């Protein structure tokens, strides 16, 4: 999943849809092709970029729905990370939610699960840091007790 969501996967979809259309970020090792593709899609300046983000957003929504079912996330799903705040308008256009809910018999269950976009790009790092701190404190308490 990591190669698909988001970075490398966005460019891979773009190259699959039309390998002839290339952008400046494709040429250098330091280029951020996912950013360029998503910006071009939002600006509607490249049809392949628009198609790429449409397909990627639907796949992202579908996998978010799968994860919601696996985790029984009835309290809500929080979409976080580097790309989510940058493509909020794309996430809100309905394709993400339709793909999220498109699970035949479980569609009505998923439609009732709230979806949130976390606008702080660092939230996942803060959450991981908090969990690491809590785990270290827990292990310290166990060592002192033992």
| Residue-wise pLDDT tens digits, 24-59 | 888 876 678 888 999 999 999 999 999 999 999 999
Per-residue confidence (pLDDT) for residue 119, from 0 to 100 = 93
Separation between Cα atoms, residue 51 and residue 58, nearest integer Å:
11
Could you give the percent of the chain with pLDDT greater than 90? 62
| pLDDT higher than 50, residue 99 | yes
Q: What is the pLDDT of residues 115-125, one digit of tens each?
A: 999 999 888 88
CA quadruple 78, 92, 51, 103: dihedral sign? positive
Contact 79, 62 (CB under 8 A): no
Q: How far is residue 126's CA from residue 122's CA, in Å, rounded to a whole number?
A: 6
**Cβ proximity of 69 and 103 under 8 Å:** yes
Mean pLDDT of 1-15: 72
User: According to the model, what pLDDT value does residue 136 have?
Assistant: 86
| CB-count exposure of residue 121 (10 Å: 0-12, 13-18, 19+) | middle
The band of 5, judged by pLDDT with boundaries at 50, 70 and 90, is: low
pLDDT category of residue 1 using cuts at 50, 70 and 90: very low
């Amino acid at each position: 999943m990591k190669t698909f969501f988001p970075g490398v996967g966005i460019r891979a979809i773009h190259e699959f849809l039309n390998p002839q259309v290339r952008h400046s970020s494709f040429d250098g090792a330091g280029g951020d092709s996912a950013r360029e593709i998503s910006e071009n899609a939002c600006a509607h300046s490249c049809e392949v970029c628009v198609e790429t983000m449409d397909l990627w957003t639907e796949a992202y929504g579908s996998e978010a729905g799968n994860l919601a079912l696996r985790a029984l996330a009835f309290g809500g799903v929080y979409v976080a990370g580097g790309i989510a705040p940058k493509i909020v308008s794309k996430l809100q256009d309905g394709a993400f939610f339709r793909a999220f809910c498109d699970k035949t018999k479980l569609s009505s269950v998923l439609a009732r699960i709230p979806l949130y976009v976390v606008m702080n790009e660092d939230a996942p790092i803060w959450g991981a840091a908090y969990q690491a701190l809590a785990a270290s404190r827990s292990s310290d308490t166990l060592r002192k007790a033992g």
